[in-house]
Amino acid sequence: MSLIGKKIPDFSSDAVVNNRLGSFDSSALRGKWAVVFFYPLDFTFVCPTEIIAFSDAAAEFNKLGCAVVGVSIDSMFSHFAWVNTPRAKGGLGELNIPLVADINKTIARSFDCLDEEAGVAFRGVYLLDPEGKLQSCIINNLPVGRNVQEVLRTLKAFQYVTSHDGEVCPANWDEGSDTMNPTPDGVAQYLGSH
């Protein structure tokens, strides 16, 4: 059953926030766009490339009124150790996003991205609107990382259609590109000019 268009369950857990041990409550996401992304494990291989890419893009997400949060089944202590390991030694270094601990796997289960057999989360990216409803979900199997620029593009597209009632974004739409009206004439006009 798809979670698209549904409100994601609230969650609260231990976390590394502002590079310190602490906690995170999803109520902090209310009233803004949010990206919640899951990754399998700390101190692994594809995961740091994704986490660093999301962290490096945090300012761009923030400009768009969007918070970014990472989640894995590791403890906050494991997250903290990884953040305190320099990048040149395989660590994350300082981050601009929180990393949430999901030791009991309840958050990954509630987002329907837990690989029960492996006991880790798949690489899920969830785009939530300001009401906490899921607008986009991309889930990759474990060996392939996500494209942060595609997540930004998708965020901009959903923000565009939210503020431009009656318009939709066609394939490969990017900021500044043409949109179309969701009617037979709108499709014909768009396809005829592209």
Residue ranges covered by each domain of the chain: 12-146
Q: Which of 47, 66, 113, 137 is catalytic?
A: 47
pTM higher than 0.85 for the full model?
yes
SS3 134: strand
Closest CA to 20 of 74, 108, 98, 111: 98
CATH T-level topology, domain 12-146 = Glutaredoxin (3.40.30)
DSSP readout, 142-172?
Answer: TT----HHHHHHHHHHHHHHHHSTT-B--TT
- The values of phi and psi at residue 191, to 5°, are -65, -35
Q: Give the pLDDT means over successive 10-residue stretches in the chain (194 positions).
A: 90 98 97 98 97 98 98 98 96 97 98 96 98 97 96 98 95 96 95 94
33-38 and 123-128 strand pairing: antiparallel
The per-residue pLDDT for 2 is 86
169 is catalytic: no
- The values of phi and psi at residue 27, to 5°, are -60, -20
